[in-house]
Structure 1
Amino acid sequence: MRHASGRLILLVAVVSTALVASACTQAVPGRPVAGKVVAKDGVDPSFIKGTDGGDIDRLGATAITDVDKYWEQAYPATFGEKWRPIEGGVYSVDTADPAAKPPPCTEKASDVEGNAFYCPSADAIAWDRAALLPVLRDGYGDAAVVIVLAHEMGHAVQRRMGITPEAERKNPEKYPTILTEAMADCFAGSFIRWVNDGKSEHLDIGTDTLDAALGALISFRDPVGTSPNDKSAHGNAFDRVSAFQDGYQEGTKFCSGMTVQTRKFTQQGFTNVDDRDRGGNLPFDEMLDAITPDLDNYYKALVTSKGKTWTPPKTTPTQKEPDCSGDQGPVAFCPKDKSVEIEVAEELPELHAKIGDYATGILLASRYGMAARAALGKEVDGDEASAGALCLAGAYTREVFTRRQGFGLSPGDLDEAVKVLLAYDYAARDGSGEASVAPGFKRVDVFRSGVFVGDKACGLG
């Protein structure tokens, strides 16, 4: 989803791999399967250059039409000027057809393979209808296609703001790619909020559908370990979803005001060879051995700072899902004896292997957060408890992310947190396994509050 002329980045092989690997594309315990979505009635795609008139282009036409309608209203309200629709046209390219005509910013149709992009020199948008949009729709639902095209329209907005390729080349420190991509994600989020507020003529995107669609946004993240200073850096999954959520919550004026001074990115490169060679992941047993004493130290400091006594929770490995207090998933806080049970035989090791070691980390951090709530005399049951424990997992993550010594986060760990939170609600269940923060979109938001603000955001008083 790169907007610079002739430099497209997402190959279909990358998308296909992401669809297979992402935990967000399959039915999992604790969350509803995302709905199919989205068009209440489709828009005639005849205005699209190269269209075959099929369902994919009808969905694309519907998305482009309603995004354009959104900016007719939002652009004047944000910038005080009239919105200028796309002038160079919208292109659908059948990259499976050797005779297909190439769109602007490309030399041949195959240059579009696996991509959707905005061409600033022609003020045009193009997509691969053979190997991108159908893959996104099949893997993540119709809403994924809408988000991707809303993102590309966001780059058209930037051009109208004066953020052109020439401006980026002249002042790369002011307009690094990672910032302009975050801004486009933010604009896409503001549009989806408009849709969810019932203002879209043709689109209807529910929150359960949105959870799955964000999996598509994650699939466009940079490879783990990419430096934020890389000229082509687009952002990790946490940064991209954060930008989208900021747009959803704060609107277009917030998005347009993003700068390198005000926008904090969590993407980071590897700092040592061993971590790089492991892909940023510790083996399951090593992760448990490393993180449990660190969690104990963090929560001890938190609890004692508030004048209470911290007793380290006894951690007990089990061969089956913990049942000490309702269904909390593979890691559970047991209110009766204030212990933590950890299932080490199947599900937790499988999550660890499928998503990464911080999938294990965030589940443990939230259950230790529940133990901290108990030590502080706070409720461990109910909505406040489930959100509070998840927020504390974010606060702990904030602590280890900023460390320079000892146990800390590897590149990719925050992405793993986003993946597990979108796909599972385990980290957001209360101490009885009943109440939970839902949907995944909201879980990520609560977690982010802990990451960005710390424990002050977690309702501890």
Structure 2
Amino acid sequence: MMAPVGGTLGRALVVTVAVLAVLLTSGCAFPVTGRAIAGPEVTAGIDPSFIEGTDGGEEDRLAAAVLRDLERFWGEAYPPLAGDRAFPPLQGYFSVDPRRGGAGGRSVPCLPDVGDIEGTAFYCPSADVIAWDRAGLLPQLRRDFGDAAVVVVLSHEFGHAVQGRLDRDGTVAASPTILLEAQADCYAGLFLRRVRDGALPDLRTGADGIDGAMGALITFRDPVGTSPRNADAHGNAFDRVSSFQDGFDGEPGTCAAMGRERVFTQQSFRSAADESSGGNLGLDELLRAMLPDLDRYFGAEVRRRGAQWTPPTAETGTATCPGSDGALQGPVAWCAGEPSALRIDGNGPLAADHRRIGDYATGTLLASRFGAAALAALDRPTAGAEGGRAALCLAGAYSAAVGTGDSAFGLSPGDLDESVTMLLDEDTASRGTDGVAAASTGYERIRVFRAGVTGGPDACLRGV
């Protein structure tokens, strides 16, 4: 997690887009890696005979439904963005089985070696086609994340086609790759919202399907430590889900207007020691480093609002508050009292997630419970959905401030990704002090956390 701060290096969350002249020559690839976060099936399936190389199977029937709904959606959404010009259809779609030599014996544009498509999908701008690995990629997406993962991958690639059609003056073509990918993620979120709302003829999914789509996105992030200036950068998990959510909650113009002013959190490692550890501290080391900084940050915020702050004592062993029936808040609990206490169960789920996800999964929980302590000091609700939502939002505000001001350390490159993974996985960081979760979906938990990252504590206390 924590890298020592020296001078301006502490500003870990402000990495602006570099000016690069990069045009994708073969779209972008979607390798499947990482841990599965399951989503339910999307109801879909139509005749895929318009797809080159199709075997007529279940994967291509799903792909066909996605592509036909994308054509319908953009047929309506594109003209208002393009001066009433009609949406030009793509030149084709290719379903490829790399084990059998291609798309039904046909060569695939932009794919000199058919083996290069294994585990990927891409949009080829020079030929204006989308191609995918039918035998490997689509089945694994469905197994790991549900059918909505296929929807998000193909709608992302279709988004690149939209980019090219709207690029009348070459501005988009000259944009950094990370910005092109963010805009395509935004277009994917825009489309998935219409799927979720039942506004399209062939596709249907529920809220859990959206979580499945986001679970797929976070496994497609860049390797931790990739510079945002890298010519092939696609974005970290936090940046990718942020772009997706901007589209999901926005309109076509929201994504089309995305430009170089967009701020990305992706960063490279700033020291050899941080890189060698993968940016992770052990649990005990994290507690020693982070608890004083949480006291510093939340104490300053409470005092700034004219209230008294007494830091909670830290106790390890169980996460059960006196008078409660079990660990209602999860493995980290804030317990009211004189003085109040932060109770930490360092075994079981906390230790497992610390190893599996990374140290800032633990850090996010700690920050949310300090958020509850700050709410109590400000005479704000700490229980129920309202309390859980505000505490989670304050955890996001703290995460954005780490490495600034008097903070003794900064976030490592993978830390916000660890927050996203944990929030998509479970609800403990969003629970009020009575154990009531603020949100039942990973989408909403990430949205609330992001509101704190971007809006700061004032936004959290106004309500999110």
How many residues of Structure 1 are paired with residues of Structure 2 in the alignment?
A: 436
Give the partner amino acid of 1:277.
S
* Alignment-derived partner of residue 42 in structure 2: 38
1:164-179 to 2 correspondences below 5 Å:
171=174, 175-179=175-179
Aligned residue for 1:96? 99
Aligned 8 A contact 1:3 1:119 in 2: no
Q: Match for 2:25: what amino acid?
A: S
- Give the 3-state SS of the residue equivalent to 1:71 in structure 2: helix
Q: 2:257 matched to which residue of 1?
A: 257
Q: Distance in 2 between matches of 1:219 and 1:401?
A: 26
CA 1:197–1:98: 2 relative to 1, 3 Å = closer
- AA matched with 2:266: Q
Residue 7 of structure 1, CA deviation: 6.8
Deviation sequence 1:277-317 (CA, Å, 0-9, x none): 00111111111111111101101000000111000101110
Match of 1:111 among 116, 138, 150: 116
- Report what 1:322 is aligned to: 320
Q: Is the contact made by 2:195 and 2:205 (CA closer than 8 Å) also made in structure 1?
A: yes
State the partner residue of 1:31.
none
Distance in 1 of aligned mates of 2:23 and 2:94: 14
Contact residue 45 and residue 61 of structure 1 kept, 8 A:
yes
Question: Does the aligned pair in 1 maintain the 2:30–2:153 contact within 8 Å?
Answer: no
Whole-Å Cα distance in 2 between the matches of residues 122 and 89 of structure 1? Answer: 9
Query: Given residue 336 of structure 2, which amino acid in structure 1 is its aligned partner?
Result: P
Give, in angstroms, the shift of residue 323 of structure 1: 4.8
Corresponding residue of 2:226: 226
Cross-structure match for 1:306: 305
Asked whether 1:198 is paired with 2:198, we answer yes
Q: Which runs of 4+ in 1 moved over 3 A?
A: 6-11, 98-102, 166-169, 323-326, 401-405
Match of 1:66 in 2: 69
Distance across 2 between alignment mates of 1:117 and 1:381: 47
* CA deviation after TM superposition for structure 1 residue 126, in Å: 0.5
Q: What whole-Å deviation, never above 9, does each CA across 1:318-366 have from its counterpart, x for those lacking one? A: 1x45354451110011124521110112211111100001000000000
List runs of 5+ in structure 2 lacking aligned partners.
Answer: 1-21
Range with bigger deviation, 324-333 or 186-195: 324-333
Counterpart for residue 248 of structure 2: 248
Q: Any idea what SS the aligned residue of 1:454 has?
A: helix
Distance 1:6 1:86, change over 3 A: same
Deviation at 1:380, TM superposition (A): 1.1
How many Å apart are 1:403 and its aligned residue?
Answer: 6.2
Q: How far off is 1:94 after superposition? A: 0.5
Structure 1: distance between partners of 2:168 and 2:450: 28
Q: Any conservation in 2 of the 1:3–1:117 contact (CA below 8 Å)? A: no
Identity of aligned residues (%): 49
Q: Structure 2 matches for 1:248-397, cutoff 5 A? A: 248-261=248-261, 263-318=262-317, 320-324=318-322, 325=324, 327-337=328-338, 338-397=340-399
Deviations 1:26-54 (A, max 9, x none): xxxxxxxx32x212x42110000000000
Determine if contact 2:361/2:418 at 8 Å carries over to the other structure.
yes
CA contact (8 A) 2:26 2:122 kept: no
Query: 1:28 is matched with which residue?
Result: none
Deviates more, 1:281-290 or 1:359-368: 281-290
> How far, CA to CA, are the matches of 1:129 and 1:322 in structure 2?
49
One-letter code of the match for 1:144? A
Measure how far apart 1:438 and its partner are: 2.3
CA contact (8 A) 1:211 1:422 kept: yes
Q: Is the 2:176–2:231 contact (alpha carbons within 8 Å) kept by the matching residues of 1?
A: yes
Name the TM-score, length of structure 2 as normaliser: 0.90
Partner Cα separation in structure 2 for residue 401 and residue 109 of structure 1: 46
Give the corresponding residue for 1:82.
85
State the secondary structure of the residue aligned to 1:47. coil
Contact 1:190–1:252 under 8 Å retained in 2: yes
Deviates more, 1:79-88 or 1:418-427: 79-88
Q: How many Å apart are 1:122 and its aligned residue?
A: 1.0
Q: Distance in 2 between matches of 1:267 and 1:8?
A: 18
User: RMSD value over aligned CA atoms?
Assistant: 2.0
1:170-227 superposed Cα distances (whole Å, 9 cap, x missing partner)? x3xxx00000000000011111111222211111121112112211111111000000
Counterpart in the other structure of 2:400: 398
Change (3 A) 1:377 1:237: same
Q: So what's the TM-score if we normalise by structure 1?
A: 0.90
SS at match of 2:447: helix
By relative contact order (CA 8 Å, sep 6+), the higher-ranking structure is: 2
Q: What displacement does 1:435 show?
A: 3.7
Decide whether aligned partners of structure 1 residues 56 and 190 sit closer, same or farther in structure 2, where only a CA change above 3 A counts. Answer: same
User: Tell me, which stretches of 5 or more residues in structure 1 are unaligned?
Assistant: 26-33
Amino acid at match of 1:154: G
Q: Distance in 1 between matches of 2:235 and 2:405?
A: 21
Please say if residues 72 and 82 of structure 1, whose CA atoms lie closer than 8 Å, have aligned partners that are also in contact: no
8 A Cα contact 1:68 1:85, kept in partner: no
Tell me the residue number matched to 2:422.
420
Distance (whole Å) between structure 2 residues aligned to residue 69 and residue 90 of structure 1: 16
- Secondary structure of the 1:134 match is helix
Once the two structures are TM-superposed, the CA of residue 459 in structure 1 deviates from its matched residue by: 2.0
